[in-house]
């Protein structure tokens, strides 16, 4: 007899196409209420929290480590962009993997801490049997989970911190709200190294300062920077940030598809403002991030504070965690190449790959330091035009109230998985919707 609920069988055997085509935003949870209008409805059921196994599967399907990646492109043309040789359920620009998941439920606020894990720390789960696969997912989930505090996260309840159309349903009792946060400081440092390589050597210019070089004049005079390749700083930062933040909607889509597999409700959204959520507003603790104010800059009250890290757990490569940007760049470089020194790679001949992949020269390291220092000293923070720590997308998970959908919607608004959810995943409970 299996130690897992019978829903495991349906989950493992569920087809991707069914999950994809059945995906809907199902926002009305048990215990929910719409207090006015044509969809006015108050749930007659108490909210029921997700089980640990439900949360584990959602989390690991969303952002979990699977094994090692392939990194199948020429070592001499861009492999040095890779920070880790790790394969997760989402793609990561340069395999930097600096998106961490925070989630909150009735019990507390948690961090799934994975950024300091190495592929060699974990064994792949692809080839495991059904039960062994679930056992491994739960094991990895528990091993990486850190409880930050008891009770739900103190998140914004009203605009501007939370969009008005989400105020009725977000972070309510019984729900599990998942919030991926991306470290853009590490991403910017890594991409600057990439664009200082032979074949790039971009000319970064500050469009707010009459297109002056971004701390690189001596390297232009030296003939190292290619002035025929101008790149405006704001455009570059935003473009790079969008590339790294893409991890968040990928995570949310994975979770939304998993909701169909498990017969759960929920939806992905962007209704929280990142700074309010992370802790930049005095009215809400948020996720408790340390925030800084840009020195000597009149940013205005609405944007004066910028989240930089959760002390000791998830910190940006910038002050106050380093005394200056030179130290931050050195620390990032040490972290990155220590991953390479581990030599746990996907290739049959890792030594050959290492030999053919150039590391940054002393000159390239100094140029990246100069650009980063220029940004920090000019604008009082790093990155200058986007927050070091940023959350753009999030996803909530909950048990839906079938009565609401039966009352207002024709047949087909939910699936057989939703209809049979309690029998499949909570057989120890009486099904609240059994008629």
Pairing outcome for strands 305-310 and 290-293? antiparallel
**What was the pLDDT predicted at 299?**
54
Give the chain as a 3 state SS string: CCCCCCHHHHHHHCCHHHHHHHCCCECCECCCEECCCCCCEECCCCCCCCCHHHHHHHHHHHHCEEECCCCCCCCCCCHHHCCCCCEECCCCHHHCCCEEEEEECCCEEEEECCCCCCHHHCCCCCCCCHHHHHHHHHHHHHHHEEEEEECCCECCCCCCCECHHHCCCCCCCCCEEEEEEEEHHHHHHHHHHHCCCCCCCCEEEEHHHCCEECCCHHHHHCCCCCCCCEEEHHHHHHHHHHHHHCHHHHHHHHHHHHHHHHCCEEEEECCECHHHHHCCCCCCCECCCEEEECCCCCCCHHHCEEEEEECCCEECCCCCCCCCHHHHHHHHHHHHHHHHHCCCCCCCCHHHHHHCCCCCCHHHHHHHHHHHHHHHHHHCCCCCCCCCEECCCEEEEECECHHHHHHHCCCCCCCHHHHCHHHHHCCCCCCCCCC
Query: Would you place residue 152 in the very low, low, confident or very high pLDDT band (cuts 50, 70, 90)?
Result: very high
Give me the percent of the chain exceeding a pLDDT of 70: 96
360 CB neighbour count, 10 Å cutoff: 19
**What is the Cα–Cα distance from 290 to 238, expressed in whole angstroms?**
22
| Fold classified for 7-425 | NADH Oxidase (3.40.109)
Which pLDDT score is estimated for 303?
54
Q: Of the candidates 182, 217, 148, which has an alpha carbon nearest to the alpha carbon of residue 317? A: 182
Q: Which two tokens stand for residue 226?
A: 């290619």
What average pLDDT score do residues 368-380 get?
94
**Distance between CA 265 and CA 25 in Å, rounded?**
7
User: How confident is the prediction for the chain on average, in pLDDT?
Assistant: 91
Bridge pairing between strands 394-398 and 265-269: antiparallel
The token pair that represents 1 in the structure block = 């007899």
* pLDDT tens for each residue of 388-406: 999 999 999 999 999 999 9
Q: In whole angstroms, give the CA distance from residue 36 to residue 364.
A: 61
**How much is the pLDDT for 298?**
58
- Those residues whose C-beta lies under 8 Å from the C-beta of residue 342, and which sit 6 or more positions away, are 118, 120
Between the CA atoms of 55, 57, 59 and 62, what dihedral angle is there, to the nearest 10 degrees?
-140
pLDDT digits (tens, 9 = 90+) for 220-279: 998 889 899 999 999 889 889 999 999 999 999 999 999 999 999 999 999 999 999 999
**Is it the case that residue 1 has pLDDT exceeding 50?**
no
pLDDT in tens, 28-85: 999 999 999 999 999 999 999 999 999 999 999 999 988 888 888 888 888 888 898 8
Per the structure block, which two tokens stand in for 334? 């040490």
Q: How far apart are the C-alpha atoms of 433 and 435, rounded to whole Å?
A: 6
Average pLDDT over residues 303-318: 91
Residue with tokens 């990895």: 140
Q: Give residue limits of the domains in the chain.
A: 7-425
More confident residue, 13 or 27: 27
CA–CA dist 292, 295 (Å, integer): 9
pLDDT digits (tens, 9 = 90+) for 321-340: 999 999 999 999 999 999 88
Would you say 172 and 43 are in contact if contact means Cβ atoms under 8 Å apart? no
Q: What is the 3-state secondary structure of 278-310?
A: HCCCCCCCECCCEEEECCCCCCCHHHCEEEEEE
Task: Give the tokens for residue 422.
Answer: 């309690």
User: Count of residues for the chain?
Assistant: 435
Closest CA to 181 of 14, 378, 387: 387
pTM, two decimal places: 0.94
């Amino acid at each position: 007899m299996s130690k897992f609920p019978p829903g495991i069988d349906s989950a493992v055997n569920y087809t991707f196409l069914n999950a994809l085509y059945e995906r809907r935003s199902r926002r009305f949870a048990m215990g929910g209420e719409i207090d006015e209008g044509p969809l006015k409805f108050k749930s007659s059921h108490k909210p029921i929290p997700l089980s640990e196994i439900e949360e584990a599967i959602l989390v690991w399907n969303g952002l979990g480590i699977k094994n090692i990646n392939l990194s199948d492109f020429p070592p001499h043309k861009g492999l040095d962009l890779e920070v880790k040789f790790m394969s997760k359920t989402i793609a990561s620009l340069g395999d930097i993997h600096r998106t961490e998941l925070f989630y909150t439920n009735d019990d507390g606020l948690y961090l799934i801490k994975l950024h300091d894990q190495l592929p060699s720390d974990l064994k792949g789960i692809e080839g495991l049997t059904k039960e062994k696969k679930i056992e491994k997912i739960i094991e990895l989930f528990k091993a990486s989970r850190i409880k930050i505090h008891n009770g739900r996260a103190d998140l914004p309840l009203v605009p501007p911190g939370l969009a008005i159309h989400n105020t009725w349903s977000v972070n309510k009792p019984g729900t599990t709200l998942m919030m991926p946060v991306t470290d853009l400081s590490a991403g910017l440092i890594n991409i600057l190294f990439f664009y200082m390589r032979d074949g790039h050597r971009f000319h970064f210019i500050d469009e707010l300062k009459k297109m002056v070089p971004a701390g690189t004049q001596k390297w232009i005079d030296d003939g190292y920077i290619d002035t025929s390749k101008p790149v405006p700083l704001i455009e570059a930062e935003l473009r790079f940030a969008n590339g790294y933040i893409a991890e968040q909607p990928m995570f949310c889509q994975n979770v939304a598809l998993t909701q169909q597999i498990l017969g759960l409700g929920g939806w992905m959204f962007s209704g929280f403002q990142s700074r309010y959520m992370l802790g930049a507003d005095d009215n809400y603790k948020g996720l408790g991030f340390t925030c800084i104010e840009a020195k000597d800059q009149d940013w205005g009250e609405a944007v004066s504070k910028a989240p930089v890290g959760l002390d000791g757990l998830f910190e940006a490569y910038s002050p106050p965690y380093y005394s200056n940007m030179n130290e931050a760049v050195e620390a990032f470089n040490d972290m990155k190449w220590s991953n390479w020194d581990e030599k746990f790679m996907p290739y049959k001949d890792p030594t050959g790959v290492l030999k053919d992949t150039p590391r940054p020269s002393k000159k390239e390291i100094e140029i990246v330091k100069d650009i980063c220092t220029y940004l920090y000293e000019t604008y009082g923070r790093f990155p200058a035009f986007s927050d070091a720590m940023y959350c753009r997308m999030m996803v909530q998970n909950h048990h839906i109230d079938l009565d609401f959908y039966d009352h207002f919607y024709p047949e087909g608004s939910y699936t057989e998985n939703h209809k049979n959810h309690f029998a499949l995943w909570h057989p120890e409970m009486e099904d609240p919707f059994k008629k």
